[in-house]
Chains A and B, each alone.
Chain A
Amino acid sequence: MQIGDSFKISYTALSAKKSRTFLTMLGIIIGIASVIIIMSVGAGAQSLITNQIKSMGSNLISIFPGKSDEAGPPSSVMGIINTSLKRNDLKALANINNVPHAAAVIGYNRGIAAVTWRSNEIDGTYVGVDADYPIIEDAAVIDGRFFTQEENESLSRYAILGSQVNEDLFYGENPIGQNIKIKKTAFTVIGYFPKRGTKGFQNQDNLIFIPSYTAQKLLLGIDYYSMLRVKVDLEENIEQTINDIRVTLREQHDIDNSENEDFSVRSQKDALNVMLAVTDALKFFLAAIAAISLVVGGVGIMNIMLVAVSERTREIGLRKAVGAKRNVIMNQFLIESIIITLFGGVAGIVVGATFSILIALIARYLGYSWDLVVSINSIILATSISVIVGLVFGIYPAQRAAKLNPIEALHYE
């Protein structure tokens, strides 16, 4: 028996029951398509997240108030207000004797307020930062200037605008030198940023930057930072610097061992790892669900193949009577189930890839930096899974066919 004959027989048998074959295939199509979509969306979402984190620069270390588990998110992210990071801490970190590899250190505060210029009013987010902000975030004003540390410490009321705020408030007029009001306090615009897009999950263009002293004292009425950031001079010094920061802050806070730290220090790499761990877990969880649907599809195939074997008992009896050996019969039924799963798999890949492309297009249309990843690996994986499903779930019906006694099979009604 030539293999081509087996395929021809299988094709004839399958095409004789087209709708049944298609419905059986559907289980596999859905299963494979979900695997492809989940892997692609997972990779896309992961790329989105990692791009966001990487866009902040890899040499950054963030310090959050409050203790946290190293692998988990900092407590401040969960909405817990913690007041442990003060101005003295910032100064201690900026001291070259404490943290020798710190290129710049700044603190952050943030608030939401009505922002007005003449009769224009918008809901704005202001961010109180220190003078080294442009160094920390690699941001340069397109026009005007950023404030100096002296201006910060003297509670100057200067503001630097994100590009979107500039547009919404000034409609193309030159904002430099204009007075705006944030929470009814007058600020003079001394510069504005070009379009910077989304970084660290925050649209930078919607922000107004003001001196941190001014933000804390005049707008927020607090004396602590919600976050500090340290820029390390060289990437290889990150670990050393994290350690220096922890030692310095423990000293500042009179804490004698690391167990009792009331702050969390994270490098961008840590943040990346946390996010990757979360998204990986999510991806595998969803892939497992998709895999279950493949198993269900496989059971469907087994079911239909068992029906086919009993429907074609006489045919099997005849084939055996005229000389078909066991393995020939077995191969023929295996080929049938593999054809179902293979074609189902290919159709599933096409459906899955189409949906993945659509999702990526929609995500990009919505402004996310979404990588379209339909990897060769996931296609190979999906194809092999479908063939394996066909083999695994086809083998039992095929064995049943092969074991049929030709005499009984010939007289089967």
Chain B
Amino acid sequence: MPSELIKLNKICKDYINEEVVTKVLHDIDLDINEGEFVAIMGPSGSGKSTLMHILGFLDKPTCGKYLYKGKDVSNLTDDQLAEIRNKEVGFVFQAFNLLVRTSVFDNVKLPMLYTGQKLDKEKVLEAIKSVGLLHRINNLSNQLSGGEKQRVAIARALVNNPSLIFADEPTGNLDSKSGKQIMEILQDLNEKGKTIILVTHEQYTASHAKRIIKIRDGTIISDTIVSERLIAKMENELTK
């Protein structure tokens, strides 16, 4: 029985802008277990990014309770959230967000700088090796292709050995071949036990997940477990 990693209880999120309140999320209940590969899907403005930000400790809910590994994290300070992000979470963004004119090695080690511990070179090398970029280790970020950049971002997400990896439209800026590679790496990581939460609006990308949560107008409209066959079926369609 896999243990429960995330439990959301009636989470809501309001944005207040010039006294106009915009309700982005309403009463979200969600459980995610360790080792799951969850895709959150929805059209733009549906609230999927906001949900990911709350799940990823980048934002705080307006109401409701967020239990992470059984602990209430809904009301932590900014610095406490930063610490959880550092130790527990790896992020992969659509726009890669690598440091410009900085080597692959220095980009990957970045989260390690904020652990408060000494740099562990071996772990950095291991993370770079796991995305197959050891030969590019001294290249600067601007000398890499899009797919390579995203692989560096994944290595960076892995370097502190987090339990959770968030991928926000990870293939959005990539050609289909590189996108496929990235998704295979994520799948592989999931197979090795990492919990992955993917935000996307592409059906194909979502099809790599084992569970698809659809969200619209701030509420979850469906939550389905995906059979292995779905990916195979979609790949067949694509090759046609």
Q: In this assembly, does B149 line the interface, its C-beta being within 8 Å of a C-beta of chain A?
A: no
Q: Is the CB of B113 within 8 A of A5?
A: yes
Q: Is A262 located at the chain interface by the 8 A CB criterion?
A: no
Q: Is A406 an interface residue, CB under 8 A from the partner?
A: yes
Is there contact, CB below 8 Å, between B79 and A326? yes
Residue of A nearest to B168 (CB): A410
Chain A residues, Cβ within 8 Å of B225: none
Does A324 count as interface, using CB distance less than 8 angstroms?
yes
Scan residues 182-227 of chain B and give those whose CB is less than 8 A from a CB of chain A: none
Given the complex, which residues of A lie within 8 Å of B115, measured CB to CB? 323
Segment touching A, from B25-33, B38-46, B80-88, B127-135? B80-88
Chain A interface SS verdict (over half): helix
Interface stretch, picked from B4-12, B66-74, B93-101, B172-180, is B93-101
What are the residues of chain B within 8 A of A318 when measuring CB–CB? Answer: 97, 99, 110
Which chain B residues numbered 107 to 160 have a C-beta less than 8 Å away from chain A?
Answer: 110-111, 113-116, 118, 156, 160
Please state if B83 and A322 are interface contacts (CB–CB under 8 Å).
Answer: no
A200-230 vs B, Cβ < 8 Å mask (1 yes, 0 no): 0000000000000000000000000000000
Q: Considering the complex, give the chain B residue whose CB is closest to the CB of A327.
A: B79
Q: Does A328 contact B (CB under 8 A)?
A: yes
Query: Does B97 contact A324, Cβ atoms closer than 8 Å?
Result: no
Does residue A366 face the partner (Cβ distance < 8 Å to B)? no
In the complex, A116 Cα to B99 Cα: how many Å? 86
With contact pairs A1-B114, A1-B116, A328-B114 given, residues A323 and B87 touching in the complex (Cβ less than 8 Å): yes
**Any A CB within 8 A of the CB of B34:** no
State A315–B113 Cα separation when bound (angstroms): 14
Determine how close the nearest CB of chain A comes to the CB of B193; give it in whole angstroms: 21
Q: Mark B52-86, 1 if CB is under 8 A from A, else 0.
A: 01000011000000000000000000110011011
Q: Provided the pairs A406-B58, A407-B53, A410-B97 are in contact, do residues A322 and B114 lie with their beta carbons within 8 angstroms?
A: yes
Among B82, B87, B102, B116, residue most surrounded by chain A Cβ atoms (within 10 Å): B82
Could you tell me which residues of chain A, from 300 to 350, have a CB within 8 Å of some CB in chain B?
314-315, 317-328
Beyond A325-B79, A325-B82, whether A319 also contacts B102 by CB under 8 A is: no
Q: How many angstroms between the C-alpha atoms of A219 and B176 in the bound complex? A: 111
CB distance from B100 to the nearest CB of A (A): 8
- Within the complex, the shortest CB–CB distance from A131 to chain B, in Å, comes to 86
Closest Cβ neighbor of B97 among chain A residues: A318
Within 8 A of B (CB), among A1-22: 1-2, 5, 12, 16
Report the nearest A residue to B90, measured CB to CB: A322
A325-B83 in contact (CB<8A): yes
Whether B85 lies near A322 (C-beta < 8 A) is yes
Given the complex, which residues of A lie within 8 Å of B110, measured CB to CB? 318-319, 322
The range of chain B's interface size is 20 to 34
- Tell me the bound Cα distance from A199 to B234 in angstroms: 104
- What residues of B have a CB within 8 angstroms of the CB of A328 in the complex? 114
Q: Is the CB of B101 within 8 A of A314?
A: no
B91 within 8 A of A: yes
- Which residue on A lies nearest to B159, using beta carbons? A322
The reply to whether B86 and A323 contact each other, CB–CB distance below 8 Å, is: yes
Given the interface pairs A12-B102, A406-B58, A407-B59, the reply to whether A320 lies near B116 with Cβ below 8 Å is no
Residue from A1, A321, A325, A407 whose CB has the most chain B CB atoms within 10 Å: A321
- Residues of B within 8 Å of A322, CB to CB, are 85-86, 91, 110-111, 114, 156
Query: Which of chain A's residues have a CB closer than 8 A to the CB of B160?
Result: 323
Cross-chain contact B156 with A410 (CB below 8 angstroms): no
A314 to B93, CA, bound (A): 12
Nearest opposing residue in chain B for A12, CB measure:
B102
A326 and B78 CA atoms in complex are apart in Å by 8
Partner of B82 from the list A12, A317, A323 (CB cut-off 8 Å) is A323
Partner of A319, one of B53, B87, B114: B114
Q: Which chain A residues lie closer than 8 Å to B58 at the CB level? A: 321, 406-407
Contacts of A1 in B (CB 8 A): 113-114, 116
With CB as the reference atom, state the residue of chain A lying closest to B86: A323
Q: How far is the CA of A16 from the CA of B101 in the complex (A)?
A: 9
CA distance A325 to B78 in the complex (A): 8
Looking at the assembled complex, report how far the CB atom of B89 sits from the nearest CB atom of chain A, in whole angstroms: 8
A5 to B116, CA, bound (A): 11
9 tightest Cβ-Cβ pairs between the two chains A and B: A323-B86, A322-B111, A323-B114, A325-B79, A318-B97, A325-B82, A324-B114, A323-B85, A5-B113
8 contacts between A and B (CB under 8 A): A16-B101, A318-B97, A318-B99, A321-B85, A323-B115, A324-B113, A325-B114, A326-B79
Chain B residues within CB distance 8 Å of chain A: 53, 58-59, 78-79, 82-83, 85-87, 91, 93, 97, 99, 101-102, 110-111, 113-116, 118, 156, 160
